[in-house]
Structure 1
Amino acid sequence: MDFTDVSLTSLRVFRAVAERGTFTAAAESLGYTQSAVSRQIASIERAAGGELLERRRDGVRLTPAGRIVMRRATVVLDEIEATARELSGRPEPGGTVRLGWLPTAGTTLVPQALAALRRSDPGLRVISREGTTPALVRALRAGSIDLALLASAPPFRTPDDESPPLALQTLTERALCLAVPAAHPLARGDYVDVADLRGQQWIAGPPSGTDRLMGVWPGLDERPEIVHTARDWLAKLHLVAAGCGLTTVTAGLASAAPPGVRVLPVRGGPQELRRLLLARLPQPPAEPVTRLAAALRTAALDNAADAP
Structure 2
Amino acid sequence: MIDVQRLRVLRAVAEHGSFNRAAAALRLTPSAVSQQVASLERTLGAQVVARSTRGVTLTPAGRIMVGAAESVAAELELARQRVASLDTGVTQLTVATFTSGGRLLLPAALTRLMAAHPRTVLHVREGEPEDTLPLVRQGAVDLALAYHFDGPLPGGRGPGSTLEWTPLLEDPLHVVLPQGHRLAGRDALDLADVAAEPWVLGCLKTEAYLRRFAERAGFDPEIRGTTTDYFFARSLVAAGLGISLIPSIALAPGIPGLSSVPITSPAPVRHIGVAAIGGRDRPHVTMLVHALREQAKLHDGQ
TM-score, structure 1 normalization: 0.70
Per the alignment, residue 44 of structure 2 pairs with: none
Quote how far apart the aligned CAs of 1:44 are. Answer: 5.8
Give the one of 234, 242, 246 matched to 1:237. 234
Per the alignment, residue 224 of structure 2 pairs with: 227
| Partners of 1:81 and 1:70 in 2: CA distance | 17
Instruction: Map 1:78-157; keep pairs closer than 5 Å.
Output: 94-154=90-150
Give the one of 297, 302, 305 matched to 2:301. 305
Per the alignment, residue 28 of structure 1 pairs with: none
| Partners of 2:22 and 2:161 in 1: CA distance | 32
| Partners of 1:293 and 1:264 in 2: CA distance | 31
Give the one of 213, 229, 245 matched to 2:208. 213
Alpha carbons 1:178, 1:266 under 8 Å: kept = yes
Per the alignment, residue 37 of structure 1 pairs with: 25
| Partners of 1:287 and 1:41 in 2: CA distance | 42
| 1:186 corresponds to 2:180 | no
Structure 1 unaligned runs (5+)?
25-32
| Partners of 1:125 and 1:143 in 2: CA distance | 17
Give the 3-state SS of the residue equivalent to 2:240 in structure 1.
coil
| 1:199 corresponds to 2:187 | no
C-alpha distance 205-285 of structure 1, shift in aligned 2 (>3 A) = farther
Give the 3-state SS of the residue equivalent to 2:301 in structure 1.
helix
| Partners of 1:66 and 1:106 in 2: CA distance | 30
Deviations 1:106-146 (A, max 9, x none): 23122332344445543333322233333333222222222
**Aligned AA for 1:100?**
A
C-alpha distance 192-274 of structure 1, shift in aligned 2 (>3 A) = same
**Aligned AA for 1:187?**
A
Deviations 1:16-71 (A, max 9, x none): 887xx4479xxxxxxxx987327548456645734798589999777544455555
**Aligned AA for 1:272?**
P
Instruction: Give % identity.
Output: 23
Per the alignment, residue 293 of structure 1 pairs with: 289
The two structures, once aligned, show a CA RMSD in angstroms of 4.4
Give the one of 279, 283, 293 matched to 1:283. 279
C-alpha distance 206-295 of structure 1, shift in aligned 2 (>3 A) = closer
Deviations 1:252-288 (A, max 9, x none): 3333333333222123x52333321222223234111
| Partners of 1:14 and 1:92 in 2: CA distance | 35
TM-score, structure 2 normalization: 0.71
Q: Highest Rg: 1 or 2?
A: 2
Quote how far apart the aligned CAs of 1:164 are. Answer: 4.6
**Aligned AA for 2:233?**
K
Quote how far apart the aligned CAs of 1:181 are. Answer: 2.6
Alpha carbons 1:23, 1:37 under 8 Å: kept = no
Per the alignment, residue 252 of structure 1 pairs with: 249
| Partners of 1:149 and 1:16 in 2: CA distance | 25
Instruction: Map 1:265-284; keep pairs closer than 5 Å.
Output: 265-267=262-264, 269-284=265-280
**Aligned AA for 2:246?**
V
Quote how far apart the aligned CAs of 1:198 are. Answer: 0.6
**Aligned AA for 2:208?**
L
Structure 2 unaligned runs (5+)?
42-46
C-alpha distance 135-192 of structure 1, shift in aligned 2 (>3 A) = same
Give the 3-state SS of the residue equivalent to 2:286 in structure 1.
helix
Give the 3-state SS of the residue equivalent to 2:255 in structure 1.
coil
Number of equivalences:
284
